[in-house]
Amino acid sequence: MGGLSAEREVSLVSGRGCAQALREAGYEVVEVDAGRDLVARLCEIAPDVCFNALHGRWGEDGCVQGLLEWLAVPYTHSGVLASALAMDKARAKDVYRAQGIPVAASLIADVDEVRARHVMAPPYVVKPNNEGSSVGIYIVHEAANGPPVLAPDMPARVMVEEYVPGRELTVSVLGDRALSVTEIVTDGWYDYHAKYAPGGSRHVCPAVLPDEIGAACRDHALRAHRALGCRGLSRSDFRWDEARGLAGLYILETNTQPGMTPTSLSPEQAAAEGMSFADLCAWLVEDASCNR
């Protein structure tokens, strides 16, 4: 848990919650704040299984997965290839398109060009191509007078994506089955604060949706999970413009390391299916392996 990414603090919260749940389930748990000495720490501990509660770069982009494969330590969640593919939003979209899963139009552009002019007709969204937890996301509205004022630490190349209006939906996949659909209700954009601050958003689980939309969300999430090669637990996020019916449903991204905090979505969806948080964590441990 922890790690070196922009999502370090969220990962620490996820890790502590998972560690406590696993202790309650009867496992012997050692909490490791993943730093540059991670290999030495793992060799010292010699764990039977690594529960990966890292978020963001290095933790869910294939890096730590490759390290664990090298050390032959069984680990939870997705492997090297699926993690790297899902973390790269542009390449994940290529996989979705190949499977016939609808995606919003997007392009990759130099950040200086995005700062200088509209590279896409507004409204659009600007975001890093390889970060999660809504880190570094900017919405450029239709009435915007000029391009967005981006933070200095934005990466050199960013994704610019057509803004899809409507409702925020998400579906977790556990093993080979899609769980409940959740609708996320906020006063504005589902940003970092809305995701992790108490009261930042309201989750409706299961979401109140037309049957065909709920079924399509679950189908798209399961097909995305399989096409990317995900293992264990993943969560796919969607936007739905209900005025357009089924044609207004788009997948945004698939998270191979869904948050496991008190306000996180996947544990809520598992609970809606009758699985406690401790049972979910235990399922992930028992599912762990190498060669993922």
As given in the structure block, the two tokens for residue 120 are 């896409």
Q: Does residue 235 have an active-site annotation?
A: yes
Catalytic residue among 3, 7, 201, 239: 7
Query: Which residues does 239 contact at the CB level (< 8 Å), separation at least 6?
Result: 104, 164, 165, 166, 167, 168, 169, 249, 250, 252
Q: Does residue 289 have an active-site annotation?
A: no
Assign residue 118 a region: left if phi > 0, alpha if psi is -120 to 50, beta otherwise? beta
Helix/strand/coil for 62:
coil
Tell me the C-alpha distance between 182 and 270, whole Å: 11
Catalytic residue among 196, 234, 268, 292: 196
C-beta of residue 189 within 8 angstroms of C-beta of residue 237: no
Q: Does residue 124 have an active-site annotation?
A: no
Catalytic residue among 5, 133, 172, 201: 133
Q: Does residue 259 have an active-site annotation?
A: yes
Catalytic residue among 60, 237, 250, 264: 237
Alpha-carbon dihedral 35, 41, 45, 50, rounded to 10 degrees = 40
The H or E element spanning position 20 is: helix 8-24
Catalytic residue among 130, 172, 255, 266: 255
Q: Does residue 129 have an active-site annotation?
A: no
Alpha-carbon dihedral 34, 38, 41, 47, rounded to 10 degrees = 80
Q: Does residue 23 have an active-site annotation?
A: no
Neighbours of 234 (CB within 10 A): 27
Catalytic residue among 218, 223, 231, 235: 235
Catalytic residue among 161, 250, 259, 266: 259
Catalytic residue among 61, 88, 253, 268: 253
Q: Does residue 255 have an active-site annotation?
A: yes
Active site residues: 7, 133, 196, 235, 237, 253, 255, 259
